[in-house]
Structure 1
Amino acid sequence: MRQTWRWFGPADLASIDDVVQAGAEGIVTALHHIPNGTVWSPKEIAKRQQLVRVRKDGSPSGIEWDVIESLPVSEDIKKQKGAWRELIANYKESLRNVAAAGLEMVCYNFMPVLDWTRTDLRWGLPNGGSCMRFDINDFAAFEIHILKRPGALEAFTPAVVEEAARRFAALDDAGQKQLARNVTMGLPGSTESMTLEDVRAHLAEYGNISADRLRQHFIDFLSEIVPVAEEVGVRLGCHPDDPPFPLLGLPRIMSTASDYQAILDAVDSPANGMTLCSGSLGARPDNDLPAMMRQFGPKVHFLHLRNVKRDSDAISGSFFEAEHLGGDTDMVALIAAILTEEARRKREGRADWEIPMRPDHGQDILDDLTRRAQPGYPTIGRLKGLAELRGIMTALGHREFGLQ
């Protein structure tokens, strides 16, 4: 497993020097400053690569930009409205440009309107630290009482509707605005976020889109870009829905093993693969992460290793970001499955036998609490997570266990 680190560019509070000291072998980043749908130019790609290659004193860092996360898919492509064909052409050009620069792995998602969604970005933990949390009751309060989405009442159980009303009544104006900001903040590192009016406008344009229709739009998109990815040598890895259940009256189509199987079968190519995120998928009690790794192993192109702790066994339920070894996913079993797949690939002679992974998210602890970094991406919390994951990798990869 190739150990990488997500870096948000020059504005990131964690520097390339910090990443080197953490022992990461590569960088996961993106051109967050470029608006969604705009072509990534060779000049901008090269500029980011150069930033990764040097430390603060100008000396070589010894690491490279390994994985793109994310090359966003525009909403008009998902809806197949507006200039969506032109946007697909731009996506193809970006793929050609990143491949020409030597980049081979692109992570993206196909979530409608909202990408990752949390209701609390700094939820207090008993140990004094903090983490991100999705609370179904708070989300219902947002959807029913703040966004005022038609039909929202029917989307939740009576118990959730009742609790959501109680929580909304307890919020002052500042609390309502904070909840709305938390829910609509957009992709990590992105300079683009949505207002309530933006969300309402997108929902009106999506209309009553079904899961089958959204899935077909996804297949149409992949049918266009996967041949280009094959041609230029780029591997694509779709990130799962986060959280992995429907929101805002819209379907989520990458939440389960059957969802992934349908897409990988529809556009069957070595270039069309999966970003296995144990935290996103682990928020559903019916997702078995080690089993999913065994099922999709040959198509897993990128790994996000993190853990969540669910409040209940409800499919659409609440959860918080746990310590990497402390949530509901058996991380030891998952890493064993990953190492087994890598060994299989190595025997086959695959050039991509080593799967890039990153310690995803992390709890804010120690100095993280005053740094106020990008929510979910504290330096010390991720360093702790990487150390824990590295320990499991080292132990299971030892000759005594044979997973090598």
Structure 2
Amino acid sequence: MTDPTRDPLFLRNPYPAYAALRRTCPVQPMAIGAETHAGYLVTGYAQAREALADPRLSKDTAAFFAGKESRRRLHPAVAHTMLATDPPRHTRLRKLVTKAFTTGAVARMRPFIARVTDDLLDRWPAGEQTDFVGTLAVPLPVIVICELLGVPEAERPAVQRWSGELFAAGNSDLIDAASHSMAAYMTGLIAAKRARPGRSLLDQLIAARDGDDRLSEEELVSLAVLLLIAGHETTTNFLGNAVLALLLHPDALAVLREDPDRVPAALDELLRFDSPVSTATFRYATEAFTLGSAEIPAGAPVAIALGAANRDPERFAAPDRLDWDRDAAAHLGFGHGIHRCVGAPLAKAEGEIVLRALLARFPGLRLAVPPDRLPWRHTRLVRGLASLPVLT
């Protein structure tokens, strides 16, 4: 089957196409990836959750592509991040970074996130049109993760640009070039921090040990790149998608305006309703096995559509409705299993702080353009708005 995600209309609203695929079969053959490997697309919730936790689906892309010809020249620090590893290496790497994103560590970041949010909102022109994505959803997560990693303020715009280019679907040359720029920058930053140590997360990773184990130079650069990209890219999309969902559902928005303390619980439903990651990163079958009713052959790539799974009526009743009374905690917006997003607590903290600030400061916030004129980013991996014009 051809890939429906190549249809421009899919970027605006993928859910009808996902529903049609799921009704046909929740796991079905489909060309996967830019180089069109014969693979399988998973759109059902039960099958997606099973696949995300199945050790027979490997994320070791280096092993998959070994010996295969490719026109791509992604830097290894981007091509072979922690996301592209299996246990035991994945277990080791994740253990060294998880403590930076514990509930306690994120709680200590909340005052900083709130200050940055207020500072960005202070710049909004009163009663005029502004772009929520460009003025808040993009800069806030960038500032937060760069602050965590110790990226100097003057260098953050370049980091933001390279990260955006890494998700430029259909432009492999731009993606590959950005991967080398990002890796070269992080290599230099690590060297600078070794010469003059500080207290940032990157400094902690340089010094991190687990007994006699410590990160190699290649692992350090790769982890730093991953944290920079993942630390703000999905959060940017989450913020934009969440605010759009609220503006398109005034009754649901009114509930939160009346009781802002419902915002923390609402975050899971917002993540379910319009997931910031449309399709999970690459996996392939290390042996033949059955997923749902599909026989997956050894070596086949498997793409897991998180956005489709989160709208599966077999798991979430009336899934196309935004419903604050729904128990959405089991959504797959952050993935599932050993590769579940390590930065989920930070993303939710940023989402809560931003939504509370908008509710308190802009009671008349509304869309400035019709919904069908909103520009969506041209990428199939993540789902997010290129801009979100609003009126205050």
TM-score bracket, normalised by the shorter chain, equals under 0.3
More helix by share: 2
Greater relative CO (CA pairs within 8 A, separation 6+): 2
TM-score (norm 1): 0.24
